[in-house]
Structure 1
């Protein structure tokens, strides 16, 4: 390894935060526990911690040919946060060939990799450290696996189907089978409440039963190994002649096999062995929510079968189907949009991560019933905080405590069929984050992107695996021989700025320059603007002249580099400036408003933290970037400014509002009248504006965090790739069971026509009769 890489591989050493913040897996309980169990391994920071991910993909674009290739990749966690999940650092360890997926027999294919991992633990590998110019014995340990839910079952050995589908609750999974829907329902989340909680006795609002159960107890590793004793020598195979079927009902659990990862000497000591994939959980929940509230055919959970399930359970009588002849009337549900609300509901995005966390709360403002809106917003904020780049243990404990309340609010309004296993898994995600660290190191987003890259390597359709292997090796070689290009600033032009505007820009630079502040304070004390009786513009002009003379005198006795820069600043800018249509700064990509007009994306929103002048209260100033200019000074010094149009945030009634959920709305028709349209590029922070569905003249403002920077992390390279999606400001998440009494639940909605559907019992009876006649014939 090169000297720089060798240094980066030691990054995690001594980086564990002393406070309750988590920025990297090193801050998680799993890493700390592993260090205590194996102090000899932890004593050398050069020993590698790995994560393993695997998933199948179709290598042929636009083809109906069934084919499934399963790459197995490794990610080193020794690296800094911004490098861990980069594609250039992901290692393709093996390819499981198609055309069919490996299924539960994946352990057979993993045997060579497991043998290598055992060697890297036991016998070590002699490696040269370029940083110290010495050889050392390198060891490696696999921390966990990252997979979607079906692959979770293949690697862990616990089947994720049936009534015991939850791999965290195991044998204590609480579910029930819907008599009409024919699927398992996971809506018994009241067991996580205290024994005296009033919702435990509320039969009518939930599943028609009083809840006396307790939450599932975590299963110890000794108990898991005891359950797997009789599966020790069972090897699942794809050979059709070798049939090994596990009877789950007889066993009383969902184990299919003992995972091959238990052959690793340290595997049983891990606190977290297999990760629940937050990416696919978010996607499935988002699809269920949107499909149900918009009543999308084939995707909604509110079907005639789910209404019959309500009737069979004896709950929510106002939603029971009403039979009329050979058809049924389904009364309108409180969680379904009316035709008028569908027109107001506007959501344009293909990313379920962005929809669920950021857009859904904005889109449902003023729509649906209060309890439905409250529950969905709480669910959205749960995932927003969970997926943050920097986690706080105190917040995660709060999330773990309050997510049962949110899920129970959803149980009060949505049908039982809505609560599949994906709606149950969020109950465990906060605890996994406390053990493993931030989500972006343990989800499938970077892995899916890497799969897409591997798919692009396929050139020979007759040998797709060979194409991927050749492409991977070629890319590895090219990566070692090339360097990463820098970021461009886009199209630029040189323009002339009017003298008055140039003075405004120069004055703003002087007022916000730290080196000028002592001069500004001295001049203000001797020439106070209030006593002089002159206007502010004239006072600024006099200060510029005085400041120039003062710096010239100081420069005669001090010709340092700092004083040269100050002299260049005092002489004022040149007549011509450089104008940009886009600019990258502080981890953000800004566009001017004119450039944004022709694009589907939005990058012209800007927000600056300012002071109101009344005490110490701070106020965010919202606006849009209209022009990006680079002011040039003598000596080659340059300063970038943003000219912005600002909204009136001082008018708390007609200019800006904040609702009970903390959502900020701004009136686009009221602009702030100011003589300071400029800000320094270093002061700019990006904001996004979404049209308010309550009042189209207003917009909803959302602040963001930069994609490739971490809070308080000086090790982040400003030119590095983004390793996580854009993070919005942290919302407050407080789920309370005291604001939503049963008497407040609106079970039906007035003014909406019922849905007419066919009697499925008659239709299914006719189908069965036709099948019977065909068999007789």
Structure 2
């Protein structure tokens, strides 16, 4: 029986006929209803019906190794052509060799490919640094490591050595969170099953091997009252030199029954600081060939358009370089950010236990690496159970000591990219923390009416008598001096505002203010000569008394000689600021009894201040609702928007679970949920529910947080943004009571200035830090000793994470893809040299099984036409066809004829080019053009899901059963539009189209190339009945008014999948047919501007080598996350009005007569000229 068809293209006639004959033979001979499916996916493992096997063979192809069809009625016959599938894995180069090369650069390779200790011939060896591997010096441990590397896992094993197998097994443990007990049981099972393998005797032995590749940490005892550390000169002290508390826990004496003597347990310290030395960890970043080049990215990459994409683009970084040119001259010197925050390791609100890790992150890395968990360095774990508070400086001493050494002397380090040693230096650029943490790190008191650190002693906080809180108003001082609001007493606080904005605070000013501050750290000690009671006087001067009350200490960071000259020392955290502003807004709208800022106390404070008499309570303490308070119907509409909205997969949590419509309450919202609501949903939810002035102020505030949080900032736009936010806060002062303006609301006014100094907010907010803290919380296995559990697990995780950069044949944190796996599948072609796969690049990946589908004539015509319109190779032929149409005689006017010719080209160009190619009437037709002209197969594979451009697209039918929405499609297309059937001058321009995904099809041009198309239902964005923008510039679409039905030949329902961007729709609570279209950005895509220099991307994962550099909007290293190409794909659409234009045939005929007369007049005029 002929079997040559099984390797032919699936849509070829030979393959289709072969499948039919195969099924006829198998089911005819065996007389059964189901057989094993021989497709490439089932591999003879599943029983299926004839129809299912037919579909699978058309979709996935025939298993090429199955040539003796013994399972389908053929006799057993072993021939030379029969190929037996082999399960033997190919031998791969052991990647641990490169790992050892980088960790131990001064060892040489022996003749057998193994390793042996030796000396390098490099004359620089006298200056070479010691290895950065903590405990692994040249000695017994080093020799054991080499012995494990050179030992086969078992006799004859070429894929694994004992070391590489242990490394990968431990990597699986850390990646999957397997407990020590679980991996011990796995190890016992492996030993029992494979007695000949050289496996470690126990999990403890395996951990010892891993430790030789890793680093270590130091345990430093601390005073129970956080007064001091027992280290260096005080290492042997038994009691605290400040409070005289013992460093040890009380020992319980146990009397021996035999000798009558007392046995004491070993001494146990009360508090232990776990410190992870910084120097060897920074050395590793340069000693590794995987990261050494990236540590110089900040200096080697260019920023051509001057926008802020990285901290190196901010003014603080640039001024630091000017101040210290010697430090800036070597790009390998490290710039660090420091972050800290506390968390409860037990995850229960009933427990008040608080652990404070300190995390460092190197800003030398490019944007797609800098804030990843794999780049962060855990510096120390400050023990609980109480937070360190103002005494955090006690625990920062070891880090500050190392930082001073790294700044002044540096440390000899090997640069793996150049194979040279250099003196590596490092500096802290700033700190990142929440607002209370900022007070702990800086020493500024954040709980008084001078809480704003940026305003310093020029702050304008005021203590509210009845609310018993500090309020921070007076934002008119940030307006220009001539602004009308400065003289408006009635709508503000009853005063004229003549003050200037607070002066920028310099480091020298801070040092001057700290001259009179003398603090003894420790829980039992406070400011000298000053009680610990909070200042209630409202003093705002800069004298000695108020200074010592406002400054709680002199920050330990000022021991760094450069700290005084850093322009941005402590960052305001946008994450927590936005969360607090959201809470103030939403709970005030909902009039929440516990969280609303508008209550009886707030109304009494209005009366106390003598402003807004219409809101004062009466004698019975009753007061009317304010303009910003929603009534019950408004609350229901507001909450219904949040309850019913469907967000894209992974965009936020399930908001509907946080909404209780019945009790009209919100609960359980995370910070990121508030970020999404504030940015996208709040402006929609409150529209038409509140007065215009309230809505406008809130929408402007939401827009501010949206603009300030983007990955790329424009300094000119930041200036405009600052002007807008000052006006917004002034408008809100006219509407909301003083109690609304907590310090977190006031801090909003300083965010734009910090963005100019430090660069984009995502490098300076707490989201990545909070994720890291959540990861640390998962380390806690021993609840009795949470700090030790965290440190031990982090040490193992740190080692495995570093080593996993060298493991290419296993999934690691560096090579795994994120939530959206849009890696392109291999493009198969019977003509490998075809250019068409690069004209229509294969971007994206199908999700789920496909279904073979036959296109009808109209669908095939529409899909094929869209391919031809978007293929620039056909431009000369389009001009040729257009010339032929113009050369034909016609009685129409020139104006009417242009319209008809364009319509003719749109509808019949595919037919014309096919006829010309079939009769060989065109010269220079390549095989690619011939393939395009003949058109695709009518057999396509249809899917319901497709990942592309960093988005998960799902058909609207599939979305219906899910709680997420991934069917919204947006495309901006060059469109030729006619106003009417007689319009002689079509307008060509970029038009935005909004639609819903209906189908995903893979169009197949007979295996020469394949193209994935999206079929969508498009809203009519050409008219106001289908698309409009509201007063706040929000996009609104109406899907009851479609652009076309997609059933007619001239309709354009298809687009290339690579052209699609995602939007999601939020139903308008007041207009049922209208939806708000919200644009979203994919994760891990970075706009690096006009990037022409590709040197920085030498190690990048290039999906298509022939793609131009300027076609890529972002590239990343294959070891450090996801790479997305944002290709500029042409998208051309032509939409014509209906031929009749809504007229009767008589009216149309009359219009043609008028057009003919006009044409004659035009000809006459032209003749006269």
When the two structures are superposed, what TM-score results if normalisation uses the length of structure 2?
Answer: 0.58
Give 1:265-280 correspondences, 5 Å limit. 265-280=561-576
Is the 1:551–1:566 contact (alpha carbons within 8 Å) kept by the matching residues of 2?
no
> How far 1:550 moved relative to its partner?
6.6
> How far 1:416 moved relative to its partner?
0.7
User: Which position in structure 2 is the counterpart of 1:343?
Assistant: 636
Is the 2:882–2:905 contact (alpha carbons within 8 Å) kept by the matching residues of 1?
no
Is the 1:55–1:151 contact (alpha carbons within 8 Å) kept by the matching residues of 2?
yes
Measured in 2, the distance between the counterparts of 1:199 and 1:306 equals 24
User: Which position in structure 2 is the counterpart of 1:639?
Assistant: 1011
* Structure 1, 378-387 or 546-555: larger mean CA deviation: 546-555
Is the 1:551–1:567 contact (alpha carbons within 8 Å) kept by the matching residues of 2?
no
The answer to whether residue 330 in structure 2 is matched with residue 330 in structure 1 is no
> How far 1:119 moved relative to its partner?
1.8
Question: What SS does structure 2 have at the residue aligned with 1:629?
Answer: strand
Measured in 1, the distance between the counterparts of 2:476 and 2:563 equals 34
The answer to whether residue 545 in structure 2 is matched with residue 251 in structure 1 is yes
The answer to whether residue 616 in structure 2 is matched with residue 320 in structure 1 is yes
Measured in 1, the distance between the counterparts of 2:338 and 2:760 equals 16
Once the two structures are superposed, residues 567-590 of structure 1 have per-residue CA deviations (whole angstroms, 9 ceiling, x without a partner) of: 554453344433333322222222
Once the two structures are superposed, residues 651-698 of structure 1 have per-residue CA deviations (whole angstroms, 9 ceiling, x without a partner) of: 22x222212211122112111115211101121111121111220211
Structure 1 residues 122 and 307: CA distance shift in structure 2, 3 A: same
Measured in 2, the distance between the counterparts of 1:28 and 1:533 equals 53
Give 1:489-504 correspondences, 5 Å limit. 489=845, 490-500=847-857, 501-504=859-862
> How far 1:519 moved relative to its partner?
3.1
Give 1:181-330 correspondences, 5 Å limit. 181-231=467-517, 234-238=519-523, 240=524, 246=530, 251-253=545-547, 254-324=550-620, 328-330=621-623
Q: Which has the higher contact order (CA 8 A, sep 6+)?
A: 1
Is the 2:1013–2:1057 contact (alpha carbons within 8 Å) kept by the matching residues of 1?
yes
* Structure 1, 464-473 or 70-79: larger mean CA deviation: 464-473
* Alignment match of 2:427 (pick from 131, 136, 141): 141
* Alignment match of 1:666 (pick from 1037, 1062, 1066): 1037
Is the 1:66–1:99 contact (alpha carbons within 8 Å) kept by the matching residues of 2?
yes
The answer to whether residue 760 in structure 2 is matched with residue 389 in structure 1 is no
> How far 1:30 moved relative to its partner?
0.7
Is the 1:200–1:212 contact (alpha carbons within 8 Å) kept by the matching residues of 2?
yes
User: Which position in structure 2 is the counterpart of 1:505?
Assistant: 863
* Alignment match of 2:339 (pick from 35, 45, 53): 53
Once the two structures are superposed, residues 193-218 of structure 1 have per-residue CA deviations (whole angstroms, 9 ceiling, x without a partner) of: 23333222222211122222222112
Structure 1 residues 414 and 38: CA distance shift in structure 2, 3 A: same
Is the 1:306–1:416 contact (alpha carbons within 8 Å) kept by the matching residues of 2?
yes
When the two structures are superposed, what TM-score results if normalisation uses the length of structure 1?
Answer: 0.87
Give 1:3-14 correspondences, 5 Å limit. 3-14=289-300
Question: What SS does structure 2 have at the residue aligned with 1:295?
Answer: coil
Is the 2:936–2:1004 contact (alpha carbons within 8 Å) kept by the matching residues of 1?
yes
> How far 1:511 moved relative to its partner?
1.2
Is the 1:15–1:26 contact (alpha carbons within 8 Å) kept by the matching residues of 2?
no
User: Which position in structure 2 is the counterpart of 1:164?
Assistant: 450
Measured in 1, the distance between the counterparts of 2:376 and 2:756 equals 24
Measured in 2, the distance between the counterparts of 1:552 and 1:331 equals 82
Is the 2:881–2:905 contact (alpha carbons within 8 Å) kept by the matching residues of 1?
no
The answer to whether residue 466 in structure 2 is matched with residue 180 in structure 1 is yes
The answer to whether residue 608 in structure 2 is matched with residue 608 in structure 1 is no
The answer to whether residue 1064 in structure 2 is matched with residue 688 in structure 1 is yes
User: Which position in structure 2 is the counterpart of 1:759?
Assistant: none
* Alignment match of 1:514 (pick from 851, 867, 872): 872
> How far 1:333 moved relative to its partner?
0.5
Structure 1 residues 181 and 639: CA distance shift in structure 2, 3 A: same
Is the 2:341–2:356 contact (alpha carbons within 8 Å) kept by the matching residues of 1?
yes
> How far 1:507 moved relative to its partner?
2.0
Measured in 2, the distance between the counterparts of 1:265 and 1:379 equals 39
Once the two structures are superposed, residues 274-333 of structure 1 have per-residue CA deviations (whole angstroms, 9 ceiling, x without a partner) of: 100000000000000001111112110000011111111121111111223xxx221110
* Structure 1, 689-698 or 503-512: larger mean CA deviation: 503-512
- Which 5+ residue runs of structure 2 have no aligned equivalent? 1-286, 644-654, 656-668, 823-844, 887-898, 978-985, 1092-1112, 1124-1169
Is the 1:708–1:718 contact (alpha carbons within 8 Å) kept by the matching residues of 2?
no
Give 1:474-623 correspondences, 5 Å limit. 474-479=796-801, 480-481=803-804, 482=807, 483=812, 484-486=815-817, 487=821, 489=845, 490-500=847-857, 501-527=859-885, 530=900, 537-546=907-916, 554=924, 568-610=931-973, 611-613=975-977, 614-623=986-995
> How far 1:170 moved relative to its partner?
0.7
Structure 1 residues 519 and 42: CA distance shift in structure 2, 3 A: farther
* Structure 1, 398-407 or 211-220: larger mean CA deviation: 211-220
Give 1:642-721 correspondences, 5 Å limit. 642-652=1014-1024, 654-673=1025-1044, 674=1046, 675-711=1051-1087, 712=1089, 714-717=1113-1116
Measured in 2, the distance between the counterparts of 1:245 and 1:637 equals 82
Is the 1:16–1:27 contact (alpha carbons within 8 Å) kept by the matching residues of 2?
no
Measured in 2, the distance between the counterparts of 1:532 and 1:649 equals 22
Once the two structures are superposed, residues 353-378 of structure 1 have per-residue CA deviations (whole angstroms, 9 ceiling, x without a partner) of: 11112211111111211111111111
Structure 1 residues 209 and 74: CA distance shift in structure 2, 3 A: same
Question: What SS does structure 1 have at the residue aligned with 2:296?
Answer: coil
Structure 1 residues 570 and 276: CA distance shift in structure 2, 3 A: same
Structure 1 residues 299 and 63: CA distance shift in structure 2, 3 A: closer
Measured in 1, the distance between the counterparts of 2:423 and 2:509 equals 35
Once the two structures are superposed, residues 599-657 of structure 1 have per-residue CA deviations (whole angstroms, 9 ceiling, x without a partner) of: 222221111112252534432110011122222334563322111111111222x2222
Question: What SS does structure 2 have at the residue aligned with 1:101?
Answer: coil
> How far 1:523 moved relative to its partner?
3.1
Structure 1 residues 152 and 550: CA distance shift in structure 2, 3 A: farther
* Structure 1, 469-478 or 438-447: larger mean CA deviation: 469-478
Is the 1:8–1:80 contact (alpha carbons within 8 Å) kept by the matching residues of 2?
yes
Measured in 1, the distance between the counterparts of 2:485 and 2:675 equals 31
Once the two structures are superposed, residues 376-434 of structure 1 have per-residue CA deviations (whole angstroms, 9 ceiling, x without a partner) of: 11111111111111101001111222222110100001011001101110110000000
* Structure 1, 179-188 or 337-346: larger mean CA deviation: 337-346
* Alignment match of 2:392 (pick from 106, 109, 121): 106
> How far 1:100 moved relative to its partner?
1.1
Structure 1 residues 595 and 478: CA distance shift in structure 2, 3 A: farther
Question: What SS does structure 2 have at the residue aligned with 1:310?
Answer: helix
Measured in 1, the distance between the counterparts of 2:902 and 2:601 equals 81
> How far 1:352 moved relative to its partner?
1.0
- Which 5+ residue runs of structure 1 have no aligned equivalent? 556-562, 724-777
User: Which position in structure 1 is the counterpart of 2:1155?
Assistant: none
User: Which position in structure 2 is the counterpart of 1:368?
Assistant: 690
Question: What SS does structure 1 have at the residue aligned with 2:1037?
Answer: strand
Measured in 2, the distance between the counterparts of 1:432 and 1:389 equals 15
> How far 1:539 moved relative to its partner?
3.9
* Alignment match of 2:742 (pick from 420, 425, 433): 420
Question: What SS does structure 2 have at the residue aligned with 1:52?
Answer: strand
User: Which position in structure 2 is the counterpart of 1:468?
Assistant: 790
Measured in 1, the distance between the counterparts of 2:291 and 2:1000 equals 37
> How far 1:477 moved relative to its partner?
3.0
The answer to whether residue 378 in structure 2 is matched with residue 92 in structure 1 is yes
Is the 1:75–1:85 contact (alpha carbons within 8 Å) kept by the matching residues of 2?
yes
* Structure 1, 189-198 or 256-265: larger mean CA deviation: 189-198
